[in-house]
Amino acid sequence: GLGDIFQTPFGTMSGVEIRANTINTIQSGVDIKTLPLSLGLLSFVLITVLVFWLILKVETLFVLYSSLILTALAIIISAYTSFSLQVLSPHFYQFLLFIVLSGTLLLLQYIFEANEKRFIRRGFEQYVAPSVVAELTSHPEKLTLGGEERNLSILFSDIRGFTTISEQLTPAQLMTQLNEYLEEMSEAVMDRKGLVDKYIGDAVMAFWGAPLVDPDHAKNACESALAMMVALDRLNERWAKEGKLPFKIGVGISTGDVVVGNMGSKRRFNYSIIGDEVNFAARIEGLTKQYGVSCLIGQTTYEAIKNFDYLPTRELDDVMVKGKIEPRKIYELLTAPLTEGKKVVLEHFATGRSHYKAGDFKAAIQEFHNALLADPTDGPSQVFLERSEDLLKNPPTDWNGVFEFKTK
């Protein structure tokens, strides 16, 4: 009758046609087989393992493409086995399982990646430039959060006479001016691929070469130091118009192997560095006061930047800082271009240093005098003049040209 219509996998079909097809199947002797359950279970396990492997080993986009390809392949195999081999297989259920499993795992991976990017942003956006944060979130594999040894450049800066300044200002005034200063210093660091590790009162600690590898970390650290000086000059000019006290800073930079990574407790940690070079950078920052200079760098830093004409230096001294037994060279980082007057000072100073190291203190005194005639404000020449005069009066018995500092 008119109601003898039924739904089949291939569309609507009358009951008569369905029975006719059934009789035809019996008469033709076609034996429709069913895939063994064990084989179906094996395929289920293989698909599950494959999906998990894809999720763990490859990127999300590749997993999506792979899912589409494998799904299409499952449909083709199912159609072939059903129509050509007359074997009923559970490919439809495997296909459904694959879709559900892939979708679930893709969602989990998306959540994991989103959390990872959020973790990176929260951990670094306050310390490095936005471009570095973007690079880390796009390529988190470049970030090693566990402790690892790496060659970096470290910078310490400190405000001279900060205690005296703080005594002349109210806490609110001091905080406002200090925040303005730290803002400018941080920008100078982050604009040149540096990471602001921490603020220690009025001091700034920063490093280059992590979390992203930076082959020019020494150069970038020195450029940042000079940029800090320029930014401070601008601040002091503005503060002078506002009737505020000026700041003067000292900077120390060292380059070498340190351990970098997350440090702290499970509840509170910080991406930071430890190592001898960190201590040395802090030590030579303190020595800027002794020599009357703005920025000192270590030997390794100097070797990395000595071929850059826009980063002139002066070999300053061979020193043994407090707590160390090996002497190390230190250099003054200067501002380019050098004036003719500055070149005269440097020439006399270098000659005086040669006499000083050789133990000819009388000749050294003359050269340091000449340097001060060219620039009476040159701190290093004044320091070496006083040393040479003292050594001339009290000749050392085993002179090696190394000056040992007893205090930090």
Residue spans of the domains in the chain: they are: 31-122, 145-337, 339-408
The residue with greater pLDDT, 363 or 21, is 363
Facing residues of 250 across strands?
158
How many angstroms from the chain centroid is the CA of residue 200?
20
Which tokens sit at 254?
A: 């060292």
φ, ψ (nearest 5 deg) of residue 146: -75, 165
Give the pLDDT band of residue 81 (cuts 50, 70, 90). confident
279 has a pLDDT exceeding 80:
yes
**Backbone torsion region of residue 257, taken as left when φ is above 0, otherwise alpha when ψ lies between -120 and 50, otherwise beta:** beta
Q: The tokens of 33 are what?
A: 């087989």
Q: How far apart are CA 364 and CA 200, in angstroms?
A: 40
Kindly report, residue by residue over 175-197, the tens digit of the pLDDT.
Answer: 999 999 999 999 999 999 999 98
Residue 271 confidence class, pLDDT cut points 50, 70, 90: confident
Output the pTM of the full model: 0.71
Instruction: Indicate the pLDDT class of residue 210, thresholds 50, 70 and 90.
Output: confident
Q: What is the mean pLDDT of residues 212-237?
A: 96
Please answer whether residues 75 and 98 qualify as being in contact, where contact means their C-beta atoms are separated by less than 8 angstroms.
no
Q: Amino acid letter at 233?
A: D
CATH superfamily for 145-337 is Nucleotide cyclase, GGDEF domain (3.30.70.1230)
Across the chain, mean pLDDT equals 83
Lowest mean pLDDT among 101-115, 164-178, 265-279: 101-115
Q: Cα(185)–Cα(156) distance, rounded to whole angstroms?
A: 11
H-helix or E-strand containing 318?
Answer: strand 313-320
Q: What is the pLDDT of residues 35-80, one digit of tens each?
A: 666 666 676 677 667 766 766 666 666 666 666 676 677 677 777 7
pLDDT digits (tens, 9 = 90+) for 131-156: 555 655 665 655 555 568 999 999 99
Architecture of the domain spanning 339-408 = Alpha Horseshoe (1.25)
pLDDT value of position 264? 67
**pLDDT confidence tier of residue 333, bands split at 50, 70 and 90:** very high
Token pair 């730290």 in the structure block, residue: 182
Beta-carbon neighbour count of residue 99 at 10 Å?
13
Instruction: Give the Å distances, CA to CA, from 227 to 55, 129, 152, 286.
Output: 46, 15, 19, 20
Give the separation between CA 172 and CA 232, rounded to whole angstroms: 20
Instruction: Report yes or no: 154 and 298 within 8 Å, Cβ to Cβ.
Output: no
Confidence tier at 114 by pLDDT (50, 70, 90): low
Instruction: Quote the pLDDT of residue 324.
Output: 75
pLDDT number for residue 395: 92
